Amino acid sequence: MLLQRMAAGDEQALGALYDRWQAVVHGVVARMVRQPDDVEDVVEEVFWQAWRQASRFDPTRGAVHSWLLTIARSRALDRVRSLRRRREEPLDGDDGQVVTQQVAAGDPGLDAEASERRTIVIAALADLPPEQREALELGYFGGLSQTEIAERTGQPLGTVKTRMRLAMQKLRSQLQILRREDVR
């Protein structure tokens, strides 16, 4: 497993992790941060944190991609909040742009794999009820807390929490195929 090799100090394993997941991490971070220079900084921070904390990864608690995207979301939220505090970045509403992945040129295998993963995730999100999908998008891509989502949507906080929990349970079930791929 790449993370075990990273924990043992194998820099090539970090390179392989980066090659495999950079496009997905970049897409998530770009959706939240939106400033190209900041996006690149956050993506770099994500992989450095993964390198430093590789020994903490516990495969019984989740898949590699979930762990890595949790780090990405956390670092992106930190950057968004920092920018918000400094007023360097006006936080406008969702502009409706689709997250795109950029895969390293010249590697059709990575391109096909990224495309397949993107298709699976988009289909799983599309299968969610609209109110659950909205809550997830506001939280994960909009960087809002559950309290902020409740305020924005006019729903009780308990309703927002329930919608997000149910949506995550459904996604976990539907994305099980991606988890099995991470094990190899």
The pLDDT assigned to 142 comes to 76
Rounded Cα distance, 123 and 171, in Å: 10
Contact 135, 167 (CB under 8 A): yes
To the nearest whole number, what is the mean pLDDT of the chain? 80
Statement: the pTM of the whole predicted model exceeds 0.75? no
- Cα(29)–Cα(69) distance, rounded to whole angstroms? 9
Q: Where in the chain is the domain with CATH 1.10.10.10?
A: 107-184
Q: In whole angstroms, what is the distance from residue 45 CA to residue 127 CA?
A: 32
User: In the predicted model, what is the mean pLDDT of residues 50-68?
Assistant: 88
Q: Is the pLDDT of residue 59 over 90?
A: no
Taking residue 112's Cβ as centre, other Cβ atoms within 10 Å add up to 11
Q: Encoding tokens for residue 49?
A: 């944190």
Helix then strand then coil, in percent of the chain rounded to 5, is 75, 0, 25
pLDDT beyond 50 at 93 = no
67-85 pLDDT, tens digit each: 898 899 889 888 887 877 7
The residue ranking higher by pLDDT, 84 or 93, is 84
CA 131 to chain centre: 20
107-184, what's its fold? Arc Repressor Mutant, subunit A (1.10.10)
**What is the CATH code of the structural domain delimited by 1-91?**
1.10.1740.10
| Residue 100 pLDDT | 44
